[in-house]
Structure 1
Amino acid sequence: MDTETTGKYTFETGIYRPPSEGGSCSLLLRLTRNCPWNKCTFCGMYKDEKFMLRSSEEIKKDIDSISGIRNDLKTISRELGFGGELNRDVVIEMIRKNPSLNTNHGFSMVLEWLFSGGKTAFLQDANSLIMKSDKLIDVLRHLRKSFASLNRVTSYARSKTLARKNQEELQGIREAGLDRLHVGLETGDDKLLKKVKKGVSSEEHIAGGRQAVKAGFQLSEYWMPGLGGKERWKPHALGTARVLNEINPHYIRSRPFFPFPGTPIYEEHTRGELGMLSPREQLTELKLMIDELDVTSRVCFDHMGNCWRNGNGGLLFSQDYEGYKFPEEKSFLLKLIEEGMEAQASLWQNPL
């Protein structure tokens, strides 16, 4: 937990957010602490940390503290003759008046957000929608009222939580100002979901995803190429495509599997019980999954883990947050995958 305490500027931030939220310099606002499930064998986030709900009043005080930073910066700007505009001189004067801000990471985050236009916010931690709907709506309304510049508010969510909320609740949350949801699908293979202790079935993934789309949320679903290893790569690819076809989310985002030290699946890997796919085998799996997709989604590789290479040694896929539009760019993406497979074959035939 990272609580930034600097006089009247007191608010709490977490650690994690999607890459796209970093790219847009989102305001990070912590609604819950850590993960309410926290049993996935592949995940190293939030380990040894207890899940806690934060009260809506506590969260609204954080919003007020951040609003206070913005307002005081504007006041200083006017005093210096800049008419409320934010610039380096204004920040220096703010820190001169409040020296402890110089080492306040939350203040740095707020500055980046303001300099980027204050357009997006991300609600931390792993599943903000686990809050009672009326409390979440209260927070969202206060957030939107406090920061009129916001044009997108995003959160992580679990499929099971979405499936359990009724449409009236979800639509109320959407109308209160939550725009986009990021959901960890990981796989559509039920045996693999059970093995990695995801705590959700493929049908619950479908139900939750459909609920979110119907309520008007912009939905990003994340899957993990390579998670099934050599044993279940084909059911993993086919099952994932099936679930995604049923949901038809706005975004499908690739997060290739890597066994992180300290996770149960890493221990499985070190014992030789998990056959990892080679880069070429990963692309074979990816090709099967992509070929089976029948969606109007944008398929994205916006993470450094998507590091497959083309024949020239460059990145195979664009890591742009908007990715490839389906079905229009499906054939192009399949050609890229084939190029990557050929590059891998050439690498093995002609090692350095």
Structure 2
Amino acid sequence: MHIEQGPIRPPSEASSLLIRITRNCPWNRCVFCSTYKGKQFSRRSVDDIKRDIDTLARVVEQVLQIAWHEGRGGRVNSQAVSEAGSRYGHLHYHVAQWMYYGAKNVFLQDANSLILKTNDLVQIIKYLRSVLPSVERLTTYARADTASRKSGEELRELREAGLVRIHMGMESGSDIVLKMIQKGTTAKQLVEAGRKIGAAGISLCWYIMPGLGGKKYSREHALETAAVINRGNPDYIRFRTLSVLKNTPLYEMMQNGEFAPLDEDEVIREQRLLLESLEGVNTTVVSDHILNLLQELEGTLPADRDKLLSIIDR
């Protein structure tokens, strides 16, 4: 048995079942990203996605049979996960691992699921929850320009269907930096998307890239990103420190002197400036990526502001 799955998901969705709704990225021009370069975007049909969901239901039954056979009363333990993988392959291992963690969370791939027609996405979510009734939490990636074009009513329909969180690559709140990296979004769109998503009752997680402005725009990057966060008030901000990858346009910009990356001390100073510039937001700061210099830089604002700043100062 086979289903389509995309290449990535957020670290916080490690225990989630992955279901591919769209293929690759409809924008695919960001100069720092190599994930979808050379790949064409396409929408998957509702029928294709439903067939994948049906396949997943059959895999669930096979994993349960393994668990029952081992005399665990149908409970999927680590031994059942290993057995499912060795007997059937990666898909069964993935589903068994999902069941091991409670079979509650699903992440819809790839880069911008909200680009689907709202009615189609609602239909997919409802079908998924009817076929896999243990599912409680659905999340996805979305671009700010796409989310800002959705009406408040459309976003509420998605929330009522079961979409509980949107992960969004904010990267920066500076229009100068956003233009430089060819993000295809603006600070205004970020704020509009953030407010609409929040008003619909959907949790919003913004990803921020310390160092993305380089030496030239470091201060601008920190201050304008803080300004957008202050206005958009996301539930989470997650740091993803810039790593300039080979075979990306940003690497070429660095090689020819157009982009000067920050050193580690400069990255941390930039993060401090951003954090101390956040005002009136109720958000959780997360640093859950191996690229981040200070992975202990986590807390909830405004209560943990002094703690976060003291970590940086130390």
Please give the range of the TM-score, normalised by the shorter of the 2 chains.
over 0.9
Instruction: Give the AA of the match of 1:42.
Output: F
Is 1:282 matched up with 2:267? Answer: yes
- Looking at structure 2, the residues matched to 92 and 324 of structure 1 have their Cα atoms a distance apart, in angstroms, of 35
The alignment status of 1:318 with 2:296, answered yes or no, reads yes
Deviation at 1:317, TM superposition (A): 3.6
TM-score (norm: length of structure 1): 0.85
Aligned to 1:181: 166
1:132 to 88, 109, 117: 117
Q: Is the CA contact (8 Å cut-off) linking 2:207 and 2:238 kept in structure 1?
A: yes
- 1:226 partnered with 2:218: no
- CA deviation vs aligned residue, 1:222-259 (integer Å, no higher than 9, x gap): 11110111100111111000000001100011111111
* Structure 1 position 276, deviation (Å): 1.3
Mean Cα deviation higher: 163-172 or 71-80:
71-80
Alpha carbons 2:141, 2:166 under 8 Å: kept? yes
Q: 1:302 aligns with which of 282, 285, 288?
A: 288
Say if 1:19 and 1:303, in contact at 8 Å, map to a contact too: yes
Task: Name the amino acid aligned to 2:310.
Answer: K
Over residues 51-89 of structure 1, what are the superposed CA-to-partner deviations in whole Å (9 max), with x where a residue is unaligned? 010011111111111111112333454466544333577
**Aligned counterparts, 1:213-252, within 5 A:** 213-252=198-237
CA contact (8 A) 1:180 1:219 kept: yes
Distance in 1 between the 2:183 and 2:309 partners?
A: 29
> Helix, strand or coil: the match of 1:12?
coil
- Change beyond 3 A, Cα 1:93–1:240: closer
Q: Which residue is equivalent to 1:327?
A: 302
Q: 1:20 aligns with which of 12, 16, 40?
A: 12
Specify whether residues 172 and 231 from structure 1 end up closer, same or farther in structure 2 by C-alpha distance, changes over 3 A only. same
Worse overlay, 204-213 or 86-95: 86-95
Aligned residue number for residue 189 of structure 2: 204
Alpha-carbon distance in 2 for matches of 1:121, 1:273:
41
Q: Deviations over 1:22-43 (max 9, x none)?
A: 1xx1101100000010000111
TM-score (norm 2): 0.95
Measure, in 2, the Cα distance between the counterparts of 1:324 and 1:144: 33
Partner of 2:191, secondary structure, is helix
Alignment partners' CA distance in 1, 2:19 and 2:155: 20
| Inter-partner Cα distance in structure 1 for 2:85 and 2:236 | 40
Q: Distance in 1 between matches of 2:252 and 2:84?
A: 49
Q: Partners in 1 of 2:36 and 2:250 — Cα distance?
A: 16
Which of 105, 108, 112 matches 2:93?
A: 108
Displacement, 1:11? 1.1
Aligned equivalents of 1:214 and 1:78: distance in 2?
Answer: 45
Kindly indicate whether residue 42 of structure 2 is the aligned counterpart of residue 67 of structure 1. Answer: no
Q: In the alignment, what sits opposite 2:42? A: 52
Where does 1:119-158 land on structure 2 (aligned, <5 Å)?
A: 119-158=104-143
- Contact kept? 2:108, 2:139, Cα under 8 Å: yes
From 140, 143, 147, give the equivalent of 1:162: 147
Deviates more, 1:264-273 or 1:124-133: 264-273
The count of corresponding residues between Structure 1 and Structure 2 is 313
Structure 2 match to 1:36: 26
DSSP-derived class of the 2:163 partner = coil
Measure, in 2, the Cα distance between the counterparts of 1:331 and 1:88: 41
What CA distance in whole angstroms lies between the structure 2 residues aligned with 1:39 and 1:88?
A: 41
Unaligned runs of 5+ in 1: 1-8, 308-315, 340-352
Percent of aligned pairs with the same amino acid? 42
Q: Kindly indicate whether the alpha-carbon contact (under 8 Å) linking 1:242 and 1:293 is maintained by their aligned counterparts in 2.
A: yes
Taking only aligned residues, the RMSD between alpha carbons, in angstroms, comes to: 1.8
Q: Deviations over 1:261-308 (max 9, x none)?
A: 01001001111221111111111111111000021100111111112x
Q: CA deviation at 1:148?
A: 2.3
- Judging changes above 3 Å, is the alpha-carbon distance between structure 1 residues 49 and 92 closer, same or farther for their aligned structure 2 residues? closer
SS in 1 for 2:168: strand
